[in-house]
Amino acid sequence: MSENQIHLTFPDGTVRTYDKGTNALQIAQSISAGLARVALGAVLNGRQIELKRPINEDGEIKLVRWEDEEGKTMFWHSSAHLLAEALQEIYGDVKFGIGPPIDNGFYYDVDFGEQKISEDDLPMIEQKMHELAKQKNEFNWYLVAKDKAIDYFKKKNDHLKLDLLENLKDGDISFVEQGNFVDLCRGGHIPDTGYIKAIKLLNVAGAYWRGDEKNQMLTRIYGVSFPKKAMLDEYLARLEEAKKRDHRKLGKELGLFTFSQKVGQGLPLWLPKGAELRERLEAFMRNAQKEAGYSPVVTPHIGHKDLYVTSGHYEKYGADSFQPIKTPHEGEEFLLKPMNCPHHCEIYKSSPRSYRDLPLRLAEFGTVYRYEQSGELHGLTRVRGFTQDDAHIFCRPDQVKDEFKKVIDLVFKVFNALGFEEYVAQISLRDQEDRSKYIGSEANWDRAESDIIEAAAEKNLNTVIAYNEAAFYGPKLDFMVNDAIGRSWQLGTIQVDYNLPERFELEYVGSDNDKHRPVMIHRAPFGSLERFVAVLTEHCAGEFPLWLTPEQGIILPISDKFMHYAEKVLHELNKCDIRVSIDERAEKIGKKIRDAELKKVPYMLIIGEKEVENEQVSVRKHKHGDLGSMSIEAFKEVIAEEIKV
């Protein structure tokens, strides 16, 4: 073994030996010309590097192409540099923050000083990027001493990069240069700008420097880029498709819900069809909860301020909430309830509890009101008044894990019934550095956190751990599901709480005849009905499962001569709880079918002379077409069969 050689392990396990200073491009060429042609960069010991960066160490290496996750990352990261270069060319003296790749594209945070940027400016910037891309400028990575780097950005008067530099370790700093643009950058770039063939700048947004609202707000430009024009077209087409699934659009089209400026922002109004659907979801959950040993309770929409002082919510959220309402004479203060748990604690306290009573599971579809920031409101997914399928489980400490697992089962029951296959189970734990922001003892937190982790592991959940995401009173397990345009929303949630029982001084008498403190588990499998319906709508693109959908079928008489029989069919089906209506309009059958298809009605029952004669209905299924004629009884069975699943 020579000191001038390096040993590199490839993903398939083979080890190859090269001279020190060999670069990834040469390595790719040594494997195949094809690989060298498509390689965008390499990953060496977990670090992304350029093809031409000399390699001087042993380790694991992977050559990456566009098809690889890292390939896209490097491509988009490089595109961000290109964006910055274009901005510098156009606007001159602007300061650059950070420009990372994201899931679908990249952004750059920029301080434009006095200049204002709006979406109208994007095409011009895109144009400039294309120009610069055509120059095929190489991305050159090189090292600079830290003090030299500081000098460089001082000269440019770039406070953002200086701020970044301050937080970097001493020693050499890496720079990347392409064309006339030099940036502070760790690296991982594609060979040159010429690879970037298709660019679309998507939007302009404000973003706080370093994500802290105390800092200056920078202008963030989002974009996406591709090595081929066709890929961009495909991506944009997918975005258009996704927009069609947007629950705000579908909710309007299907008559599920609406908002009124007069009622107030973030306060949804459920229309008859939406309300019906929601009631069916509630019934589903009531049933499941009954089976799982929950007891229903009902509590009012407001509660005395003292209740929330006791719970700690007032201290934590009081100033940023809807303000208390006062009784006219006594001046007593009440809050719109932001949570159901304090009320449930009082129900727990309404009677002495024995260890034999535990676990006590109190369930309520509780409507709560929270003052969400106006900029955060979004359709039904983020609102100011919403109903949780809430329940609180009061149990002994040794029952926590078991109860937790039962709730996980309940969540899966929901997800299975509604076809949510893709979710992320996020375990939210404390901030590892700052523990001052949490209520409750260290020992309780430790125990709660380990209970969750163990329960999740025993249920084989695919989990991610998120530090600093816990509620202020306890750790939690959230089930996150994506919406149509890829945003992640929390649906089901399970939270351990060792804190409220203490604040409310909840007790039970143990088998030892001593008093003990119960543990609380907050849980909501749907989360909020509003958000759940929103995400469900997007998930199934408005084509709800038959058991849930407001309109299961529509009867389409070919002419009004058959209206009498249509009504007979209607009554026959309604009698069996099959939700159908009649399209009584004087339209041709093709028109009625088209409209029913557009309304996504699952079954169309066409009735004409033949059907009347044979006492049948001609069945047409949404998106499938004609299923042929059958008796009313047979159709009922079709429905029954589909609902069973």
DSSP letter at 140? Answer: E
Show contacts with RNA in window 74-93 (CB under 7 A): none
Known catalytic membership, residue 540: no
Among 124, 143, 168, 205, binds RNA (CB under 7 A): 205
DSSP string, 632-645: HHHHHHHHHHHHH-
Residue of 53, 95, 337, 476 with catalytic role: 476
Query: Minimum distance between the CB of residue 307 and RNA, rounded to whole angstroms?
Result: 12
Which stretch in 262-270, 271-279, 284-292, 408-416 sits in contact with RNA by CB under 7 A? 262-270
**Pick 252 or 636: Cβ nearer RNA:** 252
User: Binding of RNA at residue 136 (CB under 7 A)?
Assistant: no
Strand partners, 366: 388
Chain-centre distance of CA 540, in angstroms?
A: 16
> Token digits for 478?
């959230």
For residue 238, the minimal CB distance to RNA (Å) is 14
**Minimum distance of RNA from residue 37's CB (angstroms):** 36
**Which of 1, 298, 443, 586 is in the footprint of RNA by CB under 7 A?**
586
Three-state DSSP state, 87: helix
Respond yes or no: is residue 345 known to be catalytic: no
Scan residues 266-285 and list those touching RNA (CB under 7 A).
266
Site string for RNA, 315-344 (x = CB under 7 A): --x--xx----------------xx-x---
Q: Are 25 and 44 in contact (CB under 8 A)?
A: no
Return the residues of window 382-421 that contact RNA according to CB under 7 A. 382
**Between helices 632-644 and 563-575, what is the axis angle to 10°?**
40
Copy the structure tokens of residue 337.
């309830």
Interacting residues with RNA between 601 and 630 (CB under 7 A): 604, 606, 608-611, 618, 620, 623, 625-626, 629
CB under 7 A: which stretch of 139-147, 185-193, 395-403, 552-560 binds RNA?
Answer: 552-560
The 10 Å Cβ neighbour count of residue 622 is 17
Binding region for RNA (CB under 7 A) out of 110-118, 161-169, 189-197, 323-331: 110-118
Please, is 300 exposed, middle or buried when counting C-beta atoms within 10 Å of its C-beta (0-12, 13-18, 19+)?
Answer: exposed
Question: Is 95 an active-site residue?
Answer: no
Confirm or reject binding of residue 559 to RNA (CB under 7 A): yes
Task: Count CB-CB contacts under 10 A for residue 524.
Answer: 26
Name the active-site residue from 109, 246, 389, 390: 390
* Comparison of 17 and 265: residue with beta carbon closer to RNA: 265
- Indicate if 396 belongs to the active site: no
Answer yes or no: are the C-beta atoms of 115 and 92 closer than 8 Å.
no
Is residue 432 annotated as part of the catalytic site, yes or no?
Answer: no
Give me the least distance between CB of 261 and RNA, in Å please: 5
Task: Using CB atoms within 10 Å of the CB of residue 80, give its burial: 0 to 12 exposed, 13 to 18 middle, 19+ buried.
Answer: buried
Helix (H) or strand (E) holding 479: strand 476-482
Q: How many other C-beta atoms are found inside a 10 Å radius of the C-beta of residue 194?
A: 15
Q: Which residues pair with 174 in a beta bridge?
A: 143
Given 53, 337, 392, 600, the catalytic residue:
392
Q: What is the DSSP string of 484-498?
A: TTS-EEEEEEEEEES
Is residue 392 part of the annotated active site? The answer reads yes
CB-count exposure of residue 484 (10 Å: 0-12, 13-18, 19+)? buried
Residue the block writes with tokens 């093709």: 590
Which 479-518 residues touch RNA, going by CB under 7 A? 485, 487
CA distance 343 to 471: 19
User: Is 388 considered catalytic here?
Assistant: yes
Identity of the residue, 132 or 480, whose beta carbon is nearer to RNA in the bound complex: 480
194 or 255, CB closer to RNA? 255
Q: Which residue, 464, 468, 465, is CA-closest to 435?
A: 468
Secondary structure of residue 20 in the 3-state scheme: coil
- For residue 342, the minimal CB distance to RNA (Å) is 10
The reply to whether 432 sits near RNA by the rule CB under 7 A is no
Q: Choosing from 220, 313, 341, 483, which is the catalytic residue?
A: 341
Report if residue 590 touches RNA, rule: CB under 7 A: yes
Nearer to RNA, 373 or 462 (CB): 373
**What stretches of 396-471 adopt beta strand conformation (E)?**
424-429, 463-467
Distance CA 516, CA 514 (A): 6
Least separation in angstroms between CB 554 and RNA: 12
Burial of 422 (0-12, 13-18, 19+ CB in 10 A): exposed
Distance between CA 497 and CA 56 in Å, rounded? 52
- Applying CB under 7 A, the span of 4-12, 184-192, 208-216, 401-409 interacting with RNA comes to 208-216
Contact status: 367 vs RNA (CB under 7 A)? no
Q: Which of 71, 97, 303, 379 binds RNA (CB under 7 A)?
A: 379
Judged by CB under 7 A, does residue 591 bind RNA? yes
Q: Spell out, one character per residue from 232 to 261, where the chain touches RNA: x when CB under 7 A holds, - when not.
A: ----------------xx--x------x-x
Torsion, Cα 220 382 309 263, to 10 degrees, reads 120
436 in contact with RNA (CB under 7 A): no
Chain centroid to CA 45: 31
Q: For RNA, which is the closer residue by CB, 168 or 598?
A: 598
Q: Of the residues 95, 382, 522, 620, which is catalytic?
A: 522
Site for RNA in 449-478 (CB under 7 A): 471-472
Supply the minimum distance, in Å, between the C-beta of residue 11 and RNA: 32
Number of residues that bind RNA (CB under 7 A): 77
Long-range contacts formed by 617-621: CB under 8 A, 24+ apart: 617/555, 617/569, 620/593
DSSP label at residue 330: T
Binding mask 5-44 for RNA (x = CB under 7 A): ----------------------------------------
Closest approach of Cβ 265 to RNA, in Å?
3
Catalytic residue annotation: 341, 370, 388, 390, 392, 476, 522
